[in-house]
Structure 1
Amino acid sequence: MTNQKPYRPNVGIALFNADGRVLIGHRFKGDGPEIILPGLDWQMPQGGVDEGENLRDAAMRELWEETSVTSAEYLGETDWFTYEFPPYDGPQTHRLAKFRGQRQKWFALRFTGREDEIDPLTPRNDQPAEFDAWRWENLDRVADLVVPFRREVYRAVAEQFAPFAR
């Protein structure tokens, strides 16, 4: 039997610093089907696209909501990728339970601000904090730090955005 649920429209952000490393956040809690596993609890910022929202605007909004960063310049973007959520036995009323996974477009951005701008703990837009820590990481290492159901997408993003990591 195939899963008839739709994919949730989503944007992901690879925020590169001047040294070509990307910002990753440490997820400190799961969110329904978006589980975390011990030792595999890092990821790049990402989030849902509002109905009718421009995708580049959605990427900037999500980056701000999750990190407070507004100092970023557009570098490029990927085509669409998808990933499936793992089996979810929680409440079907959870906001993500109606989706089979996520359909993502990734954006490469260059951070142009100062590091004291980065604040993942302060809630913004009535959204709870998703990260309790952050760091810069080599893009080609990030797939090894995320939950397995996201790895294929992260590897494809790393391949496409490799020129920005130099």
Structure 2
Amino acid sequence: MTPVQDLPYRPCAGMMVINRHGQVFVGKRIDMASDHWQMPQGGIDAGEDPLTAARREVLEEIGTDKIELIYELPDWLTYDLPDHLIGKVWKGKYRGQKQKWFLFQLTGADEDINIFTEHQEFSEWRWLEVSELPKRIVPFKKDIYEILVERFTPYIQSD
């Protein structure tokens, strides 16, 4: 088995989708029996541009492409999986993820969101205040969510 420190990070796109009130879309992962909520995210395919991956993942995970790009975080953020998940997720190929994050405005309505997609990730969804994000995510992603709140908040406006 490859030592954890020698495993690469999985390339991933993360998306903060906000509504016109400045609230953030979050979903409960279908494969987790906890009260943790997360924003959409997903792997970047080989040769795929991160923004293209982000738009594809939004459509796959929340069932709409009615979004408009507001801001792209210029740098990549990384997190390591906790020890108990190493070797269990992503077929043991990765130690965590390196994520390129995007802030999108939902240009449609709540009715345009449909989490019951072919690649269903979430069992339910809701809108959450931006400041609540770090309190709702799994603990090993909390640092990333704190960075996102700090870096994206200046670009979030509400009606």
Q: Contact 1:7/1:102 (CA < 8 Å) preserved in 2?
A: yes
Aligned-pair RMSD on alpha carbons?
Answer: 1.8
Q: How many Å apart are 1:12 and its aligned residue?
A: 0.4
- The TM-score with structure 2 as length reference comes to 0.89
- Runs of 4 or more, structure 1, over 4 Å off, are none
Mapped pair 1:82 → 2:78: yes
Q: Contact 1:12/1:44 (CA < 8 Å) preserved in 2?
A: yes
CA–CA distance in structure 2, aligned partners of residues 93 and 151 of structure 1? 21
Q: Contact 2:71/2:155 (CA < 8 Å) preserved in 1?
A: no
Mapped pair 1:16 → 2:22: no
- The TM-score with structure 1 as length reference comes to 0.86
Partner of 2:38: 43
Partner of 2:121: 130
What SS is found at the alignment partner of 1:3? Answer: helix
Q: 1:140 aligns with which of 131, 135, 141?
A: 131
Q: Deviations over 1:36-88 (max 9, x none)?
A: x632x210000000001011110000111100120000111111100001114
Q: Contact 1:10/1:49 (CA < 8 Å) preserved in 2?
A: yes
Q: Deviations over 1:98-149 (max 9, x none)?
A: 10000001000000012111111221xxx3x110111111111111101010
Mark the runs of 5 or more structure 2 residues left unpaired by the alignment. none
Counting aligned pairs with the same residue, the percent is 37
CA–CA distance in structure 1, aligned partners of residues 31 and 85 of structure 2? 17
What SS is found at the alignment partner of 2:115? Answer: coil
Mark the runs of 5 or more structure 1 residues left unpaired by the alignment. 31-36
Q: Contact 1:18/1:110 (CA < 8 Å) preserved in 2?
A: yes
